[in-house]
Chains A and B, each alone.
Chain A
Amino acid sequence: MSQNPKRLHTAWHNRLLRIVLVIAAALVALLFLLLPLAVVFVEALSKGLQFYFQQIAKPDTVSAIKLSIKLALVAVPLNMIFGIAAAWVITKFEFRGKRLLISFIDLPFTVAPVISGLVWVLIFGMQGWLGPFFRAHNIEILFAFPGMLLAILFVTFPFVARELIPLMQQQGTEEEEAAVSLGANFRQVFFRVTLPNIKIGLVYGILLSNARALGEFGAISLVSGMLRGSTVTMPLEVEILFNEYNAAGAFVVASLLSLSALLTLLVRSLLEYRHNRRQPELPSE
């Protein structure tokens, strides 16, 4: 609001810079994020709606969708439990080796998923450490549901814990201690105090790990064995179709994955909106 011309100039200059930066950011987002997504849908629908739905109705596609959902349905709840337990232990208790545990949780973020797949092959493969043992007992791990579940559990492990740890650290332990001093048992403390406080973070974590579970490719491609109709997930189906020169079919399945990603973002935004809407009123006596 200054009348000083120099100040005015600087303000105008800053504004120009801001506009340029915003446009640049928008362009990058458009080019690298939105455009590929748009291409997926355009390509998927390029041969018409009929082709689109026929592709989805194919037994291989249906089986891939079913397997992906089944894997996510088992992996995500398991991860939720592990994640809550890890975050709870790390934030509410003091113990030796805590820092080490925290870095271990991040391991799946830093290790390439292919490597985790390799490790499972190494352990449960026919030449692996435990492979012959399970084989002898007629338990299939590799190239079957359990192996794929392990691969997915590994890569999605950090999501829930990573969302919860900062949140729970910031909230401290006073509320839990208060609940206990009022006579609450472990179950009551968890369900009535801890869980409601971490609800939002937990839902975010679940959404993210679900998205990752559906989209995982690297780790799972090694342990799946690509048995069509039985151990092929949606991302694997995309690759198989693509390798069969059925690009349009690949895009159809890819569009389903993209849809689920968009849905995840939508739900997350809705939650954020709802959470922020309840602004605290000003305190008054």
Chain B
Amino acid sequence: MTITVENLSRNFRNFKAVDNVSLTAEKGELLALLGPSGSGKTTLLRLIAGLEQPDSGSVIFEGEDVTRLDVRHRQVGFVFQHYGLFRHMTVTENIAFGLRIKNRRERPSKSQISERVQELLHLVQLDRLGQRHPDQLSGGQKQRVALARALAVEPRILLLDEPFGALDAGVRKDLRRWLRRLHDDLQLTTIVVTHDQDEAMELADRVVVMNRAKIIQAATPAKIYDQPNDPFVFRFLGAGSAVPLLFNTLGHWRSPKMALGGEVMAMLDRSERARQAAEAGDQQLDLFVRSHQFEMMADSKGDWRIRFAALTGRSIRFEVQYIGNIGNIGSIASQEPPSLNPGAPTPDALTYEVDLSREEAEENGLSLGTRVTLTVKSGLLFPR
């Protein structure tokens, strides 16, 4: 079922939680609402469910305006962050709840209910735990019971609020993939709220990035990562930073502190945004570069020094610091261990994160304290 949200707004006192948001989730789509805490993603989900009332705007399910429809009639499966399991009921009773409370005309018979509960227990792989109480289950099990309970009433859509937030890393990953497979089987339009970009990227057909009560970008994971439309999206989805460019006397945007690769220079010369900035007489233009989009070469006269290196699996994450202004003291400085260096890094020193493969790092003889030159291989400009 298609879910459409039009110009939805919700304030809490003076705080704008959701500000004029419009969004469509296509039939059978799995959408992730991604954003930092306080960005309004949970409020948006609760507005769609009907657990909150909007100040303005509308919620539409498959052409039917449900904005004023009470939660209990919206037929929405909602999975809560802390599961919201009924603590005094067994797993079976929890799952059967939605069916048992139906009025006599709609209520399935006892045997039908128990059959349906068995099916659902099987679906969420908890066949043997029907008689347990919630306090006798692990976090992952509770999560699956909550999902089975939501599915029992055959909801029109499925909404999950930080479904894996309270679980540890291993269980998270398993459950995430399991949920994706389940979604592919059920073909139910699903919206998941998360603050974890990996989770959003791996799980969703489309990622909706939110910040400060607004949607910043909604696109496929690949597009969100490769073509973010905003510095916020760029920063939120992976390591990267802004390289300031200055307009030089030859009429080009160049970085005074690092070299630019041919691809980047060509991009800058073609870019409409760069031309506009030059025409407007801007002092500075920010080039956004992912940490793996740098090239780093050992060079005893280089303006940068590696002040931190950590293995992150197949690649190494370096932190390089600008030493251009003190770099002329002499090349001896590069041989000293960094901790004894008088120009020891200060917290506000100009630094960048650079990711290189281990092979590349070894080939170039890069290690802690090495002086290097930096080259930007590729990067992005954002409209103002």
Contact = CB atoms under 8 A, between A and B. Distances in A.
B97 interface: yes
B189 to A, nearest CB: 16
A208 to B, nearest CB: 23
Contact of A178 (B50, B84, B132, B138): B84
Interface in A243-285: 280-285
Contact of B101 (A172, A174, A192, A284): A192
Interface in B129-187: 132-133, 135-138, 141, 146, 149-150, 152-153
27 contacts: A172-B82, A174-B82, A175-B85, A175-B86, A175-B87, A177-B51, A177-B71, A178-B86, A179-B97, A180-B51, A181-B49, A181-B51, A181-B74, A181-B77, A182-B72, A182-B97, A182-B98, A182-B150, A182-B152, A184-B97, A184-B101, A192-B97, A197-B87, A197-B88, A280-B136, A281-B132, A285-B141
Interface string A136-176: 00000000000000000000000000000000000010110
A132 B92 CA distance: 62
A20 B71 CA distance: 60
A244 B102 CA distance: 65
Contacts of B153: 182-183
Given A177-B84, A178-B80, A193-B86, A183 B101 contact: yes
Interface of A: 172, 174-175, 177-185, 188, 192-193, 196-197, 280-285
A276 to B, nearest CB: 13
Nearest to A172: B82
B288 interface: no
B75 to A, nearest CB: 8
Nearest to B140: A285
B78 interface: yes
Nearest to A283: B138
Ranked nearest first, the 3 interchain pairs of A and B with the lowest CB-CB distance are: A174-B84, A182-B98, A178-B84
B76 interface: yes
Contacts of A196: 86, 88
A280 B78 contact: no
A181 B101 contact: no
Nearest to A174: B84
Contact of A283 (B77, B78, B98, B137): B137
Contact of B80 (A177, A184, A188, A283): A177
A281 B136 contact: yes
Most-contacted residue by chain A among B97, B132, B149 (CB, 10 A): B97
Nearest to A281: B136
Contacts of A180: 51, 71-72
A284 B138 CA distance: 7
A182 B101 contact: yes
Given A180-B72, A181-B49, A181-B76, A280 B97 contact: no
Nearest to B75: A183
Contacts of A185: 72, 101
Nearest to B76: A181
Given A178-B78, A178-B146, 20 more contacts: A172-B82, A174-B81, A175-B84, A177-B71, A177-B80, A182-B72, A182-B149, A182-B152, A183-B75, A183-B98, A183-B102, A184-B97, A185-B72, A193-B86, A196-B86, A197-B87, A281-B136, A283-B138, A283-B141, A285-B138
Contacts of A182: 72, 97-98, 101, 149-150, 152-153
A94 to B, nearest CB: 9
A282 B72 CA distance: 35
A254 B167 CA distance: 58
A174 B51 CA distance: 11
Contacts of A283: 136-138, 141
B80 A183 contact: no
A226 B101 CA distance: 53
Given A193-B86, A281-B136, A177 B78 contact: yes
B88 A181 contact: no
A178 B160 CA distance: 12
A284 B97 CA distance: 24
Nearest to B161: A174
Contacts of B51: 177, 180-181
Nearest to A196: B88
Most-contacted residue by chain A among B71, B73, B74, B76 (CB, 10 A): B71
Interface in B44-86: 49-51, 71-78, 80-86
Nearest to A182: B98
A180 B73 CA distance: 9
Contacts of B88: 196-197
Contact of B72 (A183, A192, A284): A183
A285 B129 CA distance: 9
Given A280-B135, A283-B138, A285-B141, A181 B71 contact: yes
Most-contacted residue by chain A among B84, B87, B132, B138 (CB, 10 A): B84
Contact of A184 (B72, B81, B137, B138): B72
Nearest to B87: A197
A285 to B, nearest CB: 7
A205 B141 CA distance: 34
